A and B are shown apart, each in its own frame.
Chain A
Amino acid sequence: MRSISIAGIAQLPSKLAEHHMDAAELVQAVTALALADAGIERKQIGFVCSGSSDYIMGQPFSFVMALDGVGAWPPIRESHVEMDGAWALYEAWVRLQHGDIDTALVYSFGKSSVGNVDDALGMQLDPYYVAPLGVSPMALAALQARALLDARFANERDFAQAVMRARLAGARNPNIPTPTATTVDALLAAPWVASPLRAHDAAVRTDGAAAIVLRAGGPGPKITGFAHRIEPHALGVRDLTTSPSARRAADDAGASRIDVAEIHTPYASQETILRNALGLNDRMLVNPSGGTLVAETPMVAGLLRVVEATRAIRDGAHRALAHATSGPCLQHNLVCVLEST
């Protein structure tokens, strides 16, 4: 494998609503920051890849409009995934393995404030059997959480503790809306929304953007493993209490001797599943940024985990794991392992 480094990172602050900037303005700002962080000019970039969703942005071909912020003239090598930017990063990493180019710019943007994200995510579901039922992603996550409780792999206090940890860590993150202080008992006193999940068990949805510059060789954290795996579409054929796809992705990415992990948990109940599948334990620092429970920008959250893992290595960690998920009940999972150089 060709050695690829994270040369530059950037994010725009995650906000509850970013009404001022359109997609091109978000992309211009965040890519300029990432390129400056890497010390690389736009014209030096060999490949550009982005992750976003028209269903989230509410505009057809929003990723094409956003290209105004990249400077796609003279014509550039460019690609897009209708997925979280973590998968755009994967595509760029694979593209750099071809060996003919040495740099890539990856970015993603999303706005949860313009529409109903749950309704948009419902469009991913089986169009014949599941989507017509109108079940919300939270109800599906609740089925998964219930399976965890029934199997005695977790209890509702575990969910509340995951929220507490996220809020305490998130209070130190200047790039997210300040989390509301609380206690585990106060959280447990809140009513169920889709039992056994409460409103606070769902991620706080935000607007934002993130970007990463990849470079073959050179300084910066090195990507030592990168993999993603997916599970069947039909929820009924899956064991919802475990995540074999996250486990396989972690194995393929060589996720061992990890100091810091940034994991993507759309729901608090999923932290238990991912900790088990990814082999995380209490000796590791998990989600020092606060993670996605305190700020989850659709299509950005996964890429931002890699940004945060890079920050952790810049702050002194030796090996960091970044995880992204997509689809209902952790259907699709990606793991990227970074190592300091």
Chain B
Amino acid sequence: MSAPVTQMKAPTRLEYLVHAGATTTTFLHSILKGQLVGRRCPVCHKVYIPPRGACPTCAVLCTDEVPVSNSGTVTTFSIVRIPFEGQRLTPPYACAHIVLDGADVPLLHIVGGCSVDEVRVGMRVEAVWLEIPQPTLATVTWFKPNGEPDRAVNDRGEVVP
């Protein structure tokens, strides 16, 4: 009897040229200028960063551009301790939700420039930029501690004003 066939190869490949859309395009342009610019919902007035084309709560276009601060507050985090394919950083490192001053929703990013043991909820951090900006959020390498006193964060993950 002939050997059983255990597998067949059928490689497939699809290529795309995806356009970022109007909102993301203006965000990427602001990154190239070294600025973080969000958008405000005209109905609920929340400032989203990264900006969203439509407010996911109110379903209206977010048209107002709003510059937000380079600094913010860690509202939650996780320490990544395992290696995986395509990883940009060497573990351990912290990924975190950071509410930037002037924004209403957290930005998911990396906290670096300190030991992972120092990362905590309420910690104040600021963006560390690459010298030559690229049109990607990775132009902000990570957020590092900025030395300011911690802020209070409530049970809903909101920075207490």
Binding site for B on A (CB under 8 A): 19-25, 27-29, 31-32, 42, 55, 57-59, 67-73, 114-116, 119-120, 123, 127-128, 131-132
Contact = CB atoms under 8 A, between A and B. Distances in A.
A28 B60 contact: yes
A25 B16 contact: no
Contacts of B56: 67-68, 71-73
B10 A25 contact: no
A22 B14 contact: no
A73 B143 CA distance: 31
Interface stretch (B17-25, B66-74, B86-94, B133-141): B17-25
Given A28-B53, A68-B52, A115 B17 contact: yes
Given A31-B59, A42-B59, A73-B56, A22 B15 contact: no
A297 to B, nearest CB: 16
B14 A120 contact: yes
A22 B60 contact: no
Contact of B52 (A24, A120, A132): A24
B53 A22 contact: yes
Contacts of B18: 57-59, 114
Contacts of A73: 56-57
B108 interface: no
A42 to B, nearest CB: 6
Contacts, number: 84
Contacts of A24: 21, 52-54
A228 to B, nearest CB: 27
Given A58-B16, A114-B17, A21 B54 contact: no
B17 to A, nearest CB: 6
B8 interface: yes
B6 to A, nearest CB: 14
Contacts of A28: 53-54, 59-61
B24 A22 contact: yes
B12 interface: yes
Closest 4 CB pairs of A and B: A22-B21, A71-B59, A58-B16, A28-B54
A22 B22 contact: yes
A114 B19 CA distance: 7
A258 B18 CA distance: 41
Given A70-B59, A115-B14, A116-B14, 8 more contacts: A19-B19, A22-B23, A23-B21, A25-B22, A59-B16, A114-B18, A114-B19, A132-B10
